[in-house]
Amino acid sequence: MTDIRTIAVGFDGSPDSEVALVWALDLAAPLGARVVAVHARGLLSRLEGWSSSVLESTVTRLAREHGVSVGDVSVCVEEGDACSVLVRCSRPPVDADLLVVGSRGDGKHPGLLLGSTSLELAQRAEVALVIVPSAHDVVSP
């Protein structure tokens, strides 16, 4: 297994993407890995209610709360669909060793167990992928 040096996390501001970011931060802390919170902006969409500064402050706050140095966390906002943007993150300049996404985001199909981005990434990812389930998806024994 290769060392995990960089973790790219899909982040759209949804509760599931925040859970995924926290999961990645908790993994990164003991590994000394850096975390890149990735937001994909589609051609016709925009970050409604989430300016770059709000996005960065949310990521910074969560990093501090989870013991990750702010210098080891960054935000990347790229044009394109979420899956394509995240797949590109496995190549330079991000060069992620691991992709992390929530099971669902702010997509159009909230009733699905996996969102369309998670499902597509499972087929297209060029590095290891972790799909973090929502708290309400976990079934108690």
Q: Does domain 6-137 have CATH number 3.40.50.620?
A: yes
Per-residue pLDDT, 76:
93
Task: Give residue-wise pLDDT tens across range 65-114.
Answer: 998 998 999 999 998 999 999 999 999 999 999 999 998 754 444 444 45
Are 4 and 33 contacting, i.e. CB atoms less than 8 angstroms apart? yes
Pairing mode of beta strands 6-10, 98-102 = parallel
Cis, peptide link before residue 93, omega less than 30° from 0: yes
Running DSSP on this structure, what letter comes out for residue 72?
Answer: G
The residue ranges of every structural domain in the chain are 6-137
Contact partners, residue 50, CB within 8 Å, separation at least 6 = 13, 39
Sign for the pseudo-dihedral over CA of 11, 31, 94, 90: negative
Centre a 10 Å sphere on the Cβ of residue 112 and count the other Cβ atoms it contains.
13
Task: Give residue-wise pLDDT tens across range 33-57.
Answer: 999 999 988 754 554 555 677 888 8
State pTM to two decimals.
Answer: 0.85
